[in-house]
Amino acid sequence: MSAAIILAGGRSARMGQDKRRLRLWGAHGPTLLAHTVALVATVCAEVIVVLPDPEEWPDLPVRLVPDVYPGAGPLGGLASGLAALVADRALLLACDMPLIQPDLLRAMLALPLDGDALVPQRLAVQGEPPHAQDGEPLLAVYRKTCLPAITACLAADERRMGAALGRLAVRSLPPAWWIRFDADGRSFLNLNRPEDLARAAQMIDATQPATF
């Protein structure tokens, strides 16, 4: 069974507002979180949203899971989602990625996974040195086998996704693989700051449907 875990923490400190409630497709369009849920539901049979305030989202037609590691960031959300997961593995997505391409999600789910995780690698930026953790861990596939290593990190007060990946058997997906499904890498754009929001607004096609 195909599955996905959507992280919807809601703090949005750098954005200055709750990113989950942004309406990038007009005042009468869906919230960013509702848009992400609708898109992912076209790809996955099991969809879990991890968030601190499930009671605030009664209309989301998916399973809402409270974050059992509040303040631990995406790593805590991933642990909460994996613990609640029925399927053996799941896509992990952050809800603040408005340009995710469904074809990329389907292709990632179709890949065999002998280890613990599938993590796309970022495109190299000219003039910048490579880094060991230049992956996209917030748009990746994780098996439930990751859970012991992740909870061990959290128990040690280690909240970095890179630290958890260092304990796992990770298969990297180079850009040469994923650009066949997302030539511009739009799927990896996340909204952390107001300038990211402005960039996303420019990239969204006015004719693009807001739900899928």
Euclidean distance between the first and the last CA atom of the chain, given in angstroms as a whole number: 20
pLDDT in tens, 100-146: 999 999 999 999 999 999 999 987 654 444 444 479 999 999 999 99
* 68-81: average pLDDT: 94
The residue ranking higher by pLDDT, 195 or 14, is: 195
Distances (CA, A) of 19 to 32, 151, 199: 7, 27, 15
**Residues 109/93, Cβ–Cβ less than 8 Å:** no
pLDDT of residue 154: 97
pLDDT of residue 128: 44
pLDDT of residue 199: 79
CA distance 8 to 25: 19
**SS (HEC) of the chain:** CCEEEEECCCCCCCCCCCHHHCCCCCCCCCCHHHHHHHHHHCCCCEEEEEECCHHHCCCCCCEEEECCCCCCHHHHHHHHHHHHCCCCEEEEEECCCCCCCHHHHHHHHHCCCCCCEEEEECCCCCCCCCCCCCECCCEEEEEHHHHHHHHHHHHCCCCCHHHHHCCCCEEEECHHHHCCCCCCCHHHCCCCCHHHHHHHHHHCCCCCCCCC
pLDDT at 207 exceeding the cut of 80: no
Q: Which domains does the chain have, with CATH numbers?
A: 3-127+134-203 (3.90.550.10)
pLDDT at 47 exceeding the cut of 80: yes
pLDDT at 188 exceeding the cut of 70: yes
CB-side exposure of 88: number of CA atoms within 13 Å?
8
pLDDT of residue 153: 97
Encoding tokens for residue 63?
């399973």
pTM of the model: 0.90
pLDDT of residue 206: 44
CA distance 157 to 120: 26
The residue ranking higher by pLDDT, 125 or 170, is: 170
pLDDT of residue 27: 81
